[in-house]
Amino acid sequence: MKLAHHNRYDYVPIIERPNFDWPGGKRLAFYLALNVEHFSFGGRLGHTPTSLGEPPDPRNYAWRDYGLRVGIWRIFDLVEEFGLPLCHLINSTIYEHQPQIGARIKARGDEVVGHGRTNSEQQADFDEAGEAALINEATETLTRGHGARPNGWMGPWISESYVTPDLLKEAGYTYVMDWPADDQPFWMRTRSGPIMSVPYPIEINDSPTMLTRRQPATDFTQMIIDQFETMLQFSEERPLVCGIALHTFVAGQPFRYAQLRKALSFITSHPKRDRVWFTRPGEIAKFAQGLPKGTIAGS
């Protein structure tokens, strides 16, 4: 049987790649990714802690809206307490409907990563022209709201069409986070030249852990701790990227917030934290893009 292949990248096992250090001789690049998402009232797409109701389904819509009204502000305060940077995978409609959030992100100097217009749509549902228009509209709105254009993109629902990497490259993006295939950045092919993939944590992610698999918040804390400590150990052999993905309406709930605090306290007080580069995906991509040819897989 001949399997379909994407031809976006070649198989290069991690054990065959050159060694290198992150800035300052660090071995583990660590980042926090906060998904800041906006939903259409009455829409059928959206995370839920219970069953979906019939439209307009105010219960689930309002639960998601809690993340923007309450949860995100607690998360801002928490990361400031621990002195951590953030990147925001943000729907562009946030800048139109919740401008105070955009203002706080800009004041903090955080990174903005393109995350479509709204999580009430998926890129795979559009034809090529429609998807290109979606990317361009979101990019223009984010650039206008943040004062600088985003360099990275992760599609809403991590949804792609067969031409998404091509369209992102042509729209000026330098990296994408839709392909959780590695613990290091790697180069992908597009019809207009290479684009970098930066690792995104599909499992160390509050939504699939606690909403899809129905695991308790305490499990997520232990997952974060185990992931961080094990990757820190593995990074002595080769440099790695460790990310944690959060959603405002999930981690922003008080009982989950308490567990997130425990995990971040463990990480920031770890005896080997001097081996960790606390950073953002854009800084990871920029550094990796500047390494000598042959260092990063696909270069």
Percent of the chain topping pLDDT 90: 95
> What's the pLDDT at 47?
84
Q: Which residues contact 109 (CB under 8 A, 6 or more apart)?
A: 85
> What's the pLDDT at 44?
84
Q: Which residues contact 1 (CB under 8 A, 6 or more apart)?
A: none
What separation in angstroms does the CA of 141 have from each of 83, 90, 112, 144?
29, 11, 12, 5
Given a cut of 90, whether residue 193 has pLDDT beyond it is yes
Q: Which residues contact 238 (CB under 8 A, 6 or more apart)?
A: 14, 17, 19, 184
Residue 90, in any domain of the structure? yes
Q: Please give the sequence-ordered ranges of beta strands (E in DSSP) within the chain, or none if there are none.
A: 28-36, 87-90, 111-114, 152-153, 175-176, 186-188, 195-197, 240-247, 276-278
> What's the pLDDT at 39?
96
> What's the pLDDT at 7?
94
Residue 107, in any domain of the structure? yes
User: Can you tell me the mean pLDDT for 277-294?
Assistant: 98
Q: What is the pLDDT of residues 81-91, one digit of tens each?
A: 999 999 999 99
User: Can you tell me the mean pLDDT for 255-281?
Assistant: 98
Residue 177, in any domain of the structure? yes
Q: Are 165 and 8 in contact (CB under 8 A)?
A: yes
Given a cut of 90, whether residue 54 has pLDDT beyond it is no
Residue 106, in any domain of the structure? yes
102 φ/ψ angles, rounded to the nearest 5 degrees: -60, -40
Burial class, 15, CB count within 10 angstroms (exposed 0-12 / middle 13-18 / buried 19+):
exposed
Q: How confident is the model at residue 53 (pLDDT cuts 50, 70, 90)?
A: confident
Q: What is the pLDDT of residues 122-138, one digit of tens each?
A: 999 999 999 999 999 99
Given a cut of 90, whether residue 65 has pLDDT beyond it is yes
> What's the pLDDT at 57?
92
Residue closest to 138 by CA, chosen among 119, 116, 159: 116
CATH code, domain with 201: 3.20.20.370
Q: How confident is the model at residue 20 (pLDDT cuts 50, 70, 90)?
A: very high
Residue 190, in any domain of the structure? yes
Number of compact structural domains in the chain: 1
Q: Which residue segment(s) compose the domain that 89 sits in? A: 27-41+52-289
pTM over 0.95: yes
Query: Which secondary structure element, helix H or strand E, spans residue 164, and what is its range?
Result: helix 164-170
In the numeric block, the tokens 């259409």 are attached to 40
Residue closest to 95 by CA, chosen among 43, 155, 147, 168: 147
In the numeric block, the tokens 């990480």 are attached to 267
Mean pLDDT of the chain: 97
Given a cut of 90, whether residue 80 has pLDDT beyond it is yes
Residue 227, in any domain of the structure? yes
CA torsion angle 197 202 206 209 (round to 10): 180
> What's the pLDDT at 50?
81
For residues 151 and 134, give the distance between their C-alpha atoms in angstroms, rounded to a whole number: 16
Residue 9, in any domain of the structure? no
Residue 234, in any domain of the structure? yes
* Chain centroid offset of residue 235 CA: 21
For residues 81 and 102, give the distance between their C-alpha atoms in angstroms, rounded to a whole number: 20
